[in-house]
Homo-oligomer: A and B are copies of this chain.
């Protein structure tokens, strides 16, 4: 078949221009005589690729000079551990906000290292809301407060950065980094797995304020210490070179689209039209409270759940794939990250309307 519109929650669609560039350079990068994946990470060619990727993401996110940008292995799940192991600084207590499946995983991991205080939770609404920030119970003596800026399963998203006072703010931005503008200076640590808005899995981006580096818990493996990675320019061990290169191609592509503000405008448009199609139908429904809806992951149900299998097969015939919802929520889910073109969303909306008209 030809290329489809892929609504996977992650690993997810990659911009086709990025894939074409990678394809073109696969056997030989520029005049190096070799593929990027064959290059020594200590050689000048790979160093130039690595440095350009860092410079581009610093420019795209307007990262202040007193923050390190790290390209690490092990995904967000490793960051779930590295955050408490590096940020406790002798304290015992941490604050977490629970907005769904990914928050819960971060909390579970933090409990291995700290006394976790849940500052707020939307469990009582079955994770269909973002708890109002003025209701949060933030212990200013905790080491930091952690939240998940977008939840891929529930489909909820923070639409502003919570003001939590003087405590260091940590965000898992795995599923909405680079999809909207963020003021990095408001955070102690930002981290994100690569496989949603930055390219392949197997590489994570961590942005950490310099004063938070150098305090790893005694007895931690060297790989868990931000300082080792920061001091070595993310080459404390052999980095995931090819994934780093692919991430750099995605950063270039975002710049070509006009940067994060232009991408954000596209994302607003894509999400608004899909939500409108759902809301204007009696057949489709999204359970999330209006102001908490995610621009990235849009779960929706069919009025008749018995038609789900037929919906998926009709969608696939129309070149629209990976729409099955997460088992814990059911129904459908359209993940529409940066790389999903507006035409893909339009095609989904058309197919949904046609399905409702003919099969509902």
Residues of A within 8 A of B (CB): 1-4, 6, 8-14, 16, 19-20, 22-23, 26-28, 31-35, 37-41, 43, 73-78, 80-81, 85, 108-109, 112-113, 193, 195, 199-203, 219-224, 236-243, 246, 319, 321-322
CA gap between A32 and B321 in the complex, in Å: 10
Which residues from chain B contact A35 at a C-beta distance below 8 Å?
14, 19
User: Is A75 within 8 A of B238, CB to CB?
Assistant: yes
**CB contact under 8 A between A14 and B33, given known A237-B77, A242-B200:** no
CA gap between A19 and B37 in the complex, in Å: 9
Which residues from chain B contact A236 at a C-beta distance below 8 Å?
77
Sample of 5 further A-B pairs with CB below 8 A, known A1-B28, A11-B41: A8-B39, A14-B35, A37-B199, A73-B202, A80-B221
Which residues from chain B contact A75 at a C-beta distance below 8 Å?
73, 237-238
CA gap between A85 and B81 in the complex, in Å: 15
User: Is A203 within 8 A of B202, CB to CB?
Assistant: yes
**CB contact under 8 A between A40 and B10, given known A74-B223, A78-B221:** yes
CA gap between A32 and B33 in the complex, in Å: 31
Report A115 CB to chain B, min CB distance, Å. Answer: 14
Q: Which 6 A-B pairs have the closest CB atoms?
A: A202-B240, A4-B33, A81-B221, A77-B237, A23-B26, A73-B73
Which residues from chain B contact A33 at a C-beta distance below 8 Å?
1-4, 6, 319, 321
CA gap between A44 and B39 in the complex, in Å: 32
Which residues from chain B contact A73 at a C-beta distance below 8 Å?
73-75, 78, 202, 240
Report A354 CB to chain B, min CB distance, Å. Answer: 20
**CB contact under 8 A between A26 and B34, given known A237-B75, A240-B202, A241-B202:** no
**Identity of the chain B residue whose Cβ is nearest the Cβ of A7 in the assembled complex:** B40
Instruction: Pull 18 A–B residue pairs with CB atoms less than 8 Å apart, ordered by A.
Output: A2-B28, A6-B34, A9-B40, A10-B40, A11-B37, A12-B38, A13-B38, A37-B201, A40-B322, A73-B240, A77-B222, A77-B237, A77-B238, A108-B222, A112-B220, A112-B221, A200-B243, A202-B242
Which residues from chain B contact A22 at a C-beta distance below 8 Å?
26
**CB contact under 8 A between A200 and B78, given known A6-B33, A27-B16, A112-B221:** no
CA gap between A22 and B9 in the complex, in Å: 23
User: Is B242 within 8 A of A201, CB to CB?
Assistant: yes
User: Is A34 within 8 A of B13, CB to CB?
Assistant: yes
Which residues from chain B contact A34 at a C-beta distance below 8 Å?
3-4, 6, 13, 321
CA gap between A271 and B67 in the complex, in Å: 47
Which residues from chain B contact A43 at a C-beta distance below 8 Å?
8, 322
Which residues from chain B contact A20 at a C-beta distance below 8 Å?
26-27
Which residues from chain B contact A200 at a C-beta distance below 8 Å?
37, 240-243
CA gap between A10 and B46 in the complex, in Å: 12
